[in-house]
Chain A
Amino acid sequence: MRQKALLPLVVLTIFALLVTACGGAATPTEEVEEVEEPMPAPSGSGEIFNRVIERGKVVCGGRTDLLGFGYLDEAGRNIGFDIDLCRAVAAAVLGDAEAIEVFAITAADRGPVLQTAEVDMLSRNVTWTSSRDAQWGNFTVIMFYDGQGYMVRRESGIETQEDMDGASVCVTSGTTTEKNLADDFRNHGLEFEAVIFEDTASVYNAYEEGRCDVTTSDKSQLAAVREGFENPDDHAILGITISKEPLTPAVPHGDDQWFDIVKIVMYALINAEEMGITMANIDEMKESGDVGVRRLLGEEGDWGYTDLGLDSEALYRAIKAVGNYGEIYDRYMGPLGIAFTLPRDLNNLWSNRGLIYAPPVK
């Protein structure tokens, strides 16, 4: 009886040894293969950059439930302004705008995924603040200037801050939105009654049903929501902005090379709009006489591209894949945008009295 029970144990041990031996034998071959692959010239630490190249995918922290910025199309594909920024980076670094993997990141997750470098890039409608910059990661380039505003019914006659004294305001609970609202009314010495909901969709439903006079959120959000109302023209977004929300893609700390790559791609999108390069005309523009255009598209000289481990066509690919800054904006939020319509305002190029500005390619 005992001997019989021992036999399988012996067999198992032999197996275990064999498997370990096999695994041990397998490892060196892998290492050899890695060495054989040509390494791109690194600058900075290159940890994330190498990881991206090896994986063949850029992992982006994004959203799947924010209209216009990060949401899903009918086939379940990630789309939106933020997602296109991620695609641009993938197109530049890997040559394929589809080589992205989007993690849906919740508000509580944003810091930790950067701190642990679980994502290569956080492109999730995140506001750049001093404390986040210090604690979470490196914030690259402000790609969208948002700000908290108010939406009211036109018939209410509310136009200024003072008109809102004593109004009831629908707002989501426990967010900076709620805090900004309280601060703003206190600064102006006004009274208000907060009608608080957990969920953003509930806030707007309550507002439309008339349970409050005013609702507050980031202006891009308000514009999106207004579009869905039965009579969008009955509602007005006031000209008041009570907070600065510079929405900025961020990368984890500790890899300057990757930080610079994301920045150069973002700036390329902005520069492309300034130079009039679009998805459609980019191939003709390559032949352009404008030396700035030719530099950006990698036709003339190397303006830091190889130092970052990119080839000279990287920015050309990014622009060709997603379009210039204006094209991305218009695709989702322009007059014919598939999500909603929001005037560009601060998000115009600096040359059109906006704040969008990029350093030159030189």
Chain B
Amino acid sequence: MSISTEAARPPEPPGPLTWVRRNLFNSLFNSLLTILMVFVIFYTVRGVIYWIVNVADWRPVVNFPFLYLVGQYPRDQLWRIGLSTSLIAILFGLSWGTWGGLIRTFAVSLGAFFAVVALLPVQSNELTIPVRGALLANVLLIFLGFRLGRLQAVKGSFTAIAWLLAIEVITLILLPGLSLRETLTLLIGSALVFIIVYIIYQAIRVGGINSTLRILILIAVILLAAEIALASFPNLANTPLLQKVATTSWGGLLVTFFLAAGGIVLSFPIGVVLALGRRSSLPVVKVFCTTFIEVVRGVPLVTILFMFSVILQLFMPPEARIDRLLRALMGMTFFSAAYTAENVRGGLQAVSQGQVEAAKSVGLNSVQIMSLIVLPQALRAVIPAIVGQFIALFKDTTLVIIVGINELLGIGKSIINSDPEFIQLQAEVFIFIAMVFWISSYILSYASRQLETTLGVGER
């Protein structure tokens, strides 16, 4: 009995000394190599730390916290950014509580980000105590959202709707000197889009009109009534609610995250549609999608950005001008969508025909087969590829500098050139920006690994 227990127990993990002897000093050559490397590592690390602490001059990095964060966004309007970030913070908390897993990484990173900025040990007339307090409050908001999300009453659909609403509200806070009427029109428009999406969703899930849809329609009708009523009060209707903040003044991380998040969120569905279109049996759809994908993939991103930013304007009538930032976002989205499409197509090919036949035999229609059987399996298979694509997209946002948009790198360059002394300090600025990108990309890739574990990718 005791012998069999002995045998079942795994061997003792070796102690640290044993490990070192076995792996680092197991031969004369390896011992010499180990000693050499210890010296190399020691001097490198010491050199780097010495440079960071004593040689490097971090003024161009620490003196301009808001420039790096929001660029030229008017300083007297900063509360709008603050409000938006608080909304995002609470939503991330909520999603963490509702969905857990993957979102936790983002929520925790976001909280860490706020905490780090709030507690930065630098003197700055911009990072005042109230600003730091507000940033710390965001950490609390994330936690609050998390507790809220854990409540039984809060369901996934509620959180999803909250996100959609928040995106709408944030747009309305950040952008625009829109009048009351324009605001209402925008809200009605998005309510309609929302209703359409919901109907499609219902069609897939096989259901009729349920209470949510009724509420949505009711909201839309009330908004519409309000807008019609407003027509009789032109003064009220045309008063701008908030001062307009042109996107030319956006910059820094705000633009980087806007382009990355916007590009990812928009390019994913477009990519999926393109991938499906490319496999379609309708020749027009197929040729269109294939041409789009191949043309976009055959051109460098820089060229596409130039096309959208410069060339497109030459053909557009002056009234139909699109905002510069939006043009860049369109370019990034199209570029990323083409690559996502090819990734998704790879996943679609990996789903065996038998699955489709089986689904048909139980009587699902083609929309249901695609959305319930094929796509979930296809997308799961290509998560690593798609996340890789998104990380690339995130880093590619720096390219918009060539169309005159001051994202993080552009702001860095502007800061370098804002003082004769800083021109010699570009290494510090670039290293700082590189670190920001590395940390963000690492969080993305860490989250994707978590998602893979949750979904069991690679285990079968």
* Contacts from A to B (Cβ < 8 Å): 4-5, 7-8, 11-12, 15-16, 18-19, 22-23, 25-26, 29, 33, 64-67, 71-78, 101-106, 108-109, 112, 115-118, 201-202, 204-205, 208, 224-230, 339-340
* Interface check B300, CB cutoff 8 A: no
* Interface check B417, CB cutoff 8 A: yes
Task: Determine the distance from Cα of A219 to Cα of B398 in the docked complex, in whole angstroms.
Answer: 30
Task: Determine the distance from Cα of A356 to Cα of B309 in the docked complex, in whole angstroms.
Answer: 36
Using A8-B199, A76-B251, A101-B246 as known contacts, say yes or no to A106 and B417 having CB atoms under 8 A apart: no
Task: Determine the distance from Cα of A311 to Cα of B406 in the docked complex, in whole angstroms.
Answer: 37
Using A19-B188, A208-B424, A229-B424 as known contacts, say yes or no to A78 and B418 having CB atoms under 8 A apart: no
| Stretch from B112-120, B223-231, B376-384 at the A interface | B223-231
Task: Determine the distance from Cα of A118 to Cα of B321 in the docked complex, in whole angstroms.
Answer: 8
- Closest CB-CB distance, A116 to chain B, in whole Å? 4
Q: Chain B 178-199, CB within 8 Å of chain A: the 1/0 string?
A: 0001000100110010011001
Cβ-defined contact, A112 with B424, below 8 A: no
Task: Determine the distance from Cα of A227 to Cα of B422 in the docked complex, in whole angstroms.
Answer: 11
**12 further contact pairs, Cβ within 8 A, besides A12-B195, A64-B72, A118-B321:** A8-B199, A65-B413, A71-B418, A72-B67, A74-B126, A76-B71, A103-B404, A104-B406, A201-B413, A201-B426, A228-B422, A228-B424
- Closest CB-CB distance, A55 to chain B, in whole Å? 10
Task: Determine the distance from Cα of A103 to Cα of B231 in the docked complex, in whole angstroms.
Answer: 35
Q: Which of A16, A71, A106, A116 contacts B403 (CB 8 A)?
A: A106
Using A19-B188, A22-B224, A104-B404 as known contacts, say yes or no to A109 and B310 having CB atoms under 8 A apart: yes
Using A25-B231, A76-B71 as known contacts, say yes or no to A67 and B404 having CB atoms under 8 A apart: no
CB contacts (< 8 Å) of A78 on chain B: these are 72
Q: Which of A29, A117, A201 contacts B423 (CB 8 A)?
A: A201
CB contacts (< 8 Å) of B426 on chain A: these are 201-202, 205
- Closest CB-CB distance, A28 to chain B, in whole Å? 11
Using A67-B420, A71-B417, A104-B405 as known contacts, say yes or no to A118 and B313 having CB atoms under 8 A apart: yes
Cβ-defined contact, B203 with A5, below 8 A: yes
Using A18-B224, A65-B413, A72-B72 as known contacts, say yes or no to A106 and B208 having CB atoms under 8 A apart: no
* Interface check B448, CB cutoff 8 A: no
Cβ-defined contact, B404 with A106, below 8 A: yes
Cβ-defined contact, A228 with B423, below 8 A: yes
Q: Which of A15, A76, A109, A117 contacts B220 (CB 8 A)?
A: A15
Name the CB-closest residue of B to A202. B426
Cβ-defined contact, B423 with A225, below 8 A: yes
CB contacts (< 8 Å) of A229 on chain B: these are 424
Task: Determine the distance from Cα of A67 to Cα of B413 in the docked complex, in whole angstroms.
Answer: 11
Using A76-B66, A205-B426, A208-B424 as known contacts, say yes or no to A116 and B416 having CB atoms under 8 A apart: no
22 A–B contacts, CB within 8 A, in A order: A8-B199, A15-B192, A19-B192, A64-B410, A65-B410, A65-B416, A74-B126, A76-B72, A101-B248, A103-B248, A103-B324, A103-B404, A104-B248, A104-B406, A104-B410, A112-B313, A116-B318, A201-B416, A201-B417, A224-B420, A224-B423, A339-B420
Q: How many A-B residue pairs have CB under 8 A?
A: 140
Cβ-defined contact, A112 with B418, below 8 A: no
Cβ-defined contact, A72 with B414, below 8 A: yes
Task: Determine the distance from Cα of A194 to Cα of B446 in the docked complex, in whole angstroms.
Answer: 45
CB contacts (< 8 Å) of A4 on chain B: these are 208-209
Size of B's binding interface in residues, CB under 8 A: 63
- Closest CB-CB distance, A253 to chain B, in whole Å? 13
Using A8-B199, A65-B416, A72-B67 as known contacts, say yes or no to A77 and B248 having CB atoms under 8 A apart: no
Using A8-B199, A8-B213, A11-B217 as known contacts, say yes or no to A105 and B404 having CB atoms under 8 A apart: yes
Cβ-defined contact, B415 with A72, below 8 A: yes
Closest A-B pairs by Cβ, 7 of them: A228-B420, A227-B420, A76-B72, A104-B404, A65-B417, A64-B414, A65-B414
* Contacts from B to A (Cβ < 8 Å): 63-64, 66-67, 70-73, 75, 126, 181, 185, 188-189, 192, 195-196, 199, 203, 208-209, 213, 217, 220, 224, 227-228, 231, 234, 246, 248-249, 251, 306, 309-311, 313-314, 316, 318, 321, 324, 401-406, 410, 413-424, 426
Cβ-defined contact, A109 with B67, below 8 A: no
CB contacts (< 8 Å) of B71 on chain A: these are 76
Q: Which of A22, A66, A74, A76 contacts B417 (CB 8 A)?
A: A66
- Closest CB-CB distance, B206 to chain A, in whole Å? 9
Cβ-defined contact, A106 with B416, below 8 A: no
Name the CB-closest residue of A to B75. A75
Task: Determine the distance from Cα of A275 to Cα of B350 in the docked complex, in whole angstroms.
Answer: 80
Task: Determine the distance from Cα of A330 to Cα of B205 in the docked complex, in whole angstroms.
Answer: 71
Cβ-defined contact, B181 with A67, below 8 A: no
CB contacts (< 8 Å) of A116 on chain B: these are 313-314, 316, 318
Task: Determine the distance from Cα of A117 to Cα of B314 in the docked complex, in whole angstroms.
Answer: 10
CB contacts (< 8 Å) of B318 on chain A: these are 116-117
Task: Determine the distance from Cα of A116 to Cα of B203 in the docked complex, in whole angstroms.
Answer: 46
Cβ-defined contact, B75 with A72, below 8 A: no
- Closest CB-CB distance, B235 to chain A, in whole Å? 11
CB contacts (< 8 Å) of A115 on chain B: these are 314
Task: Determine the distance from Cα of A9 to Cα of B407 in the docked complex, in whole angstroms.
Answer: 43
Q: Which of A18, A19, A72 contacts B418 (CB 8 A)?
A: A72
Task: Determine the distance from Cα of A73 to Cα of B414 in the docked complex, in whole angstroms.
Answer: 10
Name the CB-closest residue of B to A51. B318
CB contacts (< 8 Å) of A71 on chain B: these are 414, 417-418
Task: Determine the distance from Cα of A15 to Cα of B209 in the docked complex, in whole angstroms.
Answer: 17
CB contacts (< 8 Å) of A5 on chain B: these are 203
Cβ-defined contact, B231 with A26, below 8 A: yes
Highest count of chain A CB atoms <10 Å: which of B209, B413, B414: B414
- Closest CB-CB distance, A34 to chain B, in whole Å? 12
Cβ-defined contact, A22 with B228, below 8 A: yes
